[in-house]
Amino acid sequence: MVQAYSATGIFTGEGFVDGLAVIVEDQLVKEVVPQHQVGEGIPVKHFKDCILYPAFVDVQVYGAEGRLLSVDPTEETLSVMANSFASAGTALFQPTVATNTTDVIKSCIDAVRAFKQSGGKGVHGLHIEGPWIHPARKGAHKEEWIRVPSIEEVKALLDYGSENITMITLAPEVCSVEIIEYIQSAGIVVSAGHTDADFETAMRSFDSGIDAVTHLFNAMSSMHHRAPGLPAAAFLHSTVKASIIPDGHHVDYNMLIIAKMKMGARLFAITDAVTSTATGPYQHVLNVDRYECNGTLSGSALSMNQAFNNLVKQAGIEKGEAHRMCSLYPAQLLGADKQYGRIAPGYSGSLLVFNQQSEFITALT
């Protein structure tokens, strides 16, 4: 089926343009043409006083609608997550499992594999956060499973999860250079997180090729005027990227503004969203607009469209750049920026409709 969409404006991923229509066929953008050049017989849906954007990409999210992947690691859970996120504007995501037993992590790998083999859409691959992290920066992670890995353990897990693990968060001071290089040789994004690395250690790890930082400022060495820590290393490094949680609880918006000023296009948004659950080792309880586990901040209640809105309204980031932080930049980290983050021929036909006040209206999938 061919369908054309138009609005008062379109954000292409590069800039805002007026007077265009997006023609979508088989869930891909076929053409972007002037509205008056839409072919005869192609239905057009127009959104007055609205802007069309590319769909969002979320690098780190744990569950949805009462289903936490680590508690219920099944194809059905991933389907619930994919449908829930798509309806709120996220077309591509990495289901994430926090520090857990090897059996649970393998079950999450099995779920991703089954979901993809059945033709499921929206899952990029599994993000494993821990257990190779520093116990002093564990946050809500369970300390009994945190450990220093051997190369044999890493090889065995990566063999099991071949082509289904796409990102691993680890503490660079806990893992050897051999281990980090082995993970990267498998095409997996390595992100520094839940780490006590000081400034010098962080800079060395970034220079050695670590790709990113997981939830900047949270669960890591702090930035102090005599001990700049990992956040300052991320600021000053030329290539490392960093995710940040724009909910106002994980990071004060003023710190987010400072980080954006220093990192520019290297800073992107994640939801880090969990869901209420009363079973399993991570029992997340909603506290107004954030989640806690045993009294510790354990995840956000964000959707990516709320993250975008917060970046614009709370952090004062220009709409186009705020959107890139929620779509193009995370897609670039994942190597998916030839399919997501732009409205152009060959890209995903999943589009978002926002009003002029940056409020989410609907997702077109």
pTM for this entry = 0.97
Determine which helix (DSSP H) or strand (DSSP E) holds 25, and give its type and residue range.
strand 20-25
Catalytic residue among 72, 247, 272, 337: 272
Distance CA 350, CA 268 (A): 20
Number of domains in the chain: 2
CA dihedral 128, 132, 138, 144 (to 10 degrees): 100
pLDDT of residue 1: 87
**In terms of Cα–Cα distance, which of 248, 217, 215 is closest to 96?**
215
What's the CATH code of the domain at 203?
A: 3.20.20.140
Residues 81-121: tens digit of each pLDDT: 999 999 999 999 999 999 999 999 999 999 999 999 999 99
Residue 312 belongs to a domain: yes
The string of pLDDT tens digits covering residues 274-310 is 999 988 899 999 999 999 998 899 999 999 999 999 9
- Per-residue pLDDT at 154: 98
Mind listing the pLDDT tens digit for each residue in 125-156?
999 999 999 999 999 999 999 999 999 999 99
Q: Is the pLDDT of residue 353 over 90?
A: yes
Do 77 and 31 lie in one domain? The reply is no
* Whether residue 28 is found in the same domain as residue 158: no
- Please give the backbone phi and psi of residue 216, each rounded to the nearest 5 degrees, phi first: -45, 135
- Does residue 245 belong to any structural domain of this protein? yes
Is residue 339 in a domain? no
Would you state the pLDDT for residue 351? 98
Same domain, 50 and 24: yes
Q: Tell me which DSSP letter residue 363 carries.
A: E
Lowest mean pLDDT among 37-41, 173-177, 349-353: 37-41
Strand runs labelled E in 44-156: 44-54, 56-61, 63-64, 67-68, 90-98, 126-129
Specify whether 153 is located in the same domain as 218.
yes
Q: How far apart are CA 233 and CA 210, in angstroms?
A: 12
Q: What is the pLDDT of residue 210?
A: 97
Mean pLDDT over the full length of the chain: 97
Report pLDDT for 365: 82
The range of the structural domain enclosing residue 358 comes to: 2-54+344-364
Residues 46 and 164 in one domain: no
Instruction: Answer yes or no: 272 catalytic.
Output: yes
**Residues 216 and 267 sit within 8 Å (Cβ to Cβ):** yes
Residues 6+ apart with CB under 8 A from 231: 216, 217, 220, 221, 222, 223, 259
